[in-house]
Amino acid sequence: MTNGLKKEDSAALKGLAVLLLIFHHCYRLADRIERYQVDLCGLTTEQLVAIAECCKICVAIFAFVSGYGLMYGYSAKMKNKEKYAVSEWISGHLLSTMSGFWFTAAVSYLIYFGLGLKDPSKWGETFYERGFAVFADILGISRLLETESLNGAWWYMSAAFVFIILLPLLDGTIEKFGGIFCIAVIFLLPRILGIGFQGGSKPYSFLLIFVAGMLCCKYNFFQKLHEYRRKKLKFICLSALLCAGFFLYHKIDLKIFWEFRYALVPFLLILFCVEYLFRITPVSLFLQYLGKHSMNIWLVHTFVRDSLGKYVFALKKFWLIPVAVLVISLGISYCLDFLKKITGYQKLIRLLKKKVTEHYAVRE
C-alpha cells in the first residue's frame, strides 16, 4: 500500500483525535466554562460549547483507525486459512489492545483509592458487588456490564472489545453480501427495530465508521483516492463537502441521523487530513508524536482536568487550558511507559502473547 493509509498517517490521525478529545472534554459543558471564568477571547460560551461538541468526532476517528488497522492485520492472518486463525486473532488482539489499558487502570485505582480521592461505597450494596465493579472497570468492560467506572472516558474500551469480537463476522458479511449491504444493515437495523439513537458512548453509534475503516483497508481506498488524476477537482470537492458538513453539524437532528456526526463528517475530515493536511511535514510529525502517546493521554486527561482543574483553568485563556492538560497528560504518559518497563509489565504481556500463539500452534 505505497499510497494507502500508512502507519504514519494512522499515528497522525490518532494524534489529531487526542487534540480534539481534550478540547471536547474541557469545554463541552457550559457550567465548567462559567465556573472557572474562562477568557473566551471574543467568543461566546455557546460558540465555544458548539466547537467542543464538534470535537466529539475524535471518537469516530479512533474507531475508523481501529477498523482500518484491525482489518489489515486480520486480512494478513486469514491468508493462511489455518483452522483456529480467527480464534487466535481475536485472542491476540484482545490481549494486545486491552493490556495497554489494564496497567493504567490499575495504577489509577491504586492512586485514587490510596489517597482517598474516590469513594466506592455507592458502587454496590455488598463488598462483592463493589469488588466486581472495580474488576470489570480495570478489565475495560464496565460499559458493557453497566457497572460503575472510575473514569467516564474509559467507556471506549468496551467499544474496542466489541469491535474486535465483531470484526470476523462483519468481514464475513462483507465477503458474502458486499460492503454496501453491510452498511445498509447497520444504518437500517436500529430504525427497523425502533431502538433509535443509542447515545454518544455506545459502540453501535460508531459501528458504521468502524466498518468504513474496514472497507477502506479491504479495497485500498486511500491509494485510489491519492491516484485520482483530477487533483484540483478532488481538492475542491473534499473542501466543499467538509465545510458543508461542519456547517450542518448542529442543524441535523442527532437522534434522527446520528451517522452524519459520527460517521459522514469524520470520514470527510479523515480524507482531507490524509490527502492534504498530513502532507505538511511539521504538522504530520507533531501529530504522529502525539499519536504514539494517544492511548495514555486519552486514559488520563480527564483526571488532569478534574484533579488539577483549579490549576489548569487558572490559566484562563481558552486556548491555553487544553494545552496545559495535554502537556501534563503527556508527562504522565512517559511516567506510565517507564513504570511498565521497570515493573516487567511489558515483558509479561509479550510472554502472554507468545503463550497464546503457542497454544493455537499446538491445537493445529
* Short-list 356, 313, 306, CA closest to 37: 313
β-pair partners for 317: 39
Sign of CA dihedral 321, 322, 325, 328: negative
In tens digits, what is the pLDDT along the chain, a chain of 364 residues?
Answer: 445 789 999 999 999 999 999 999 999 999 999 999 999 999 999 999 999 999 999 999 999 999 999 999 898 877 766 667 788 889 989 999 999 999 999 999 999 888 777 777 778 778 888 899 999 999 999 999 989 999 999 999 999 999 999 999 999 999 999 999 999 999 999 999 999 898 889 999 999 999 999 999 999 999 999 988 899 999 999 999 999 999 999 999 999 999 999 999 999 999 999 999 999 999 999 999 999 999 999 999 999 999 998 899 999 999 999 999 999 999 999 999 999 999 999 999 999 988 887 776 655 5
Judge residue 196's burial from the number of C-beta atoms within 10 Å of its C-beta, 0-12 exposed, 13-18 middle, 19 or more buried: exposed
| In 206-285, beta strands by DSSP E | none
Q: What residues contact residue 199 under an 8 Å CB cut-off, 6+ apart?
A: 205
The DSSP secondary structure of 311-346, one letter per residue, reads HHGGG-BTTHHHHHHHHHHHHHHHHHHHHHHHTTHH
Q: What is the dihedral of CA 349, 354, 358, 360, to 10 degrees?
A: 60
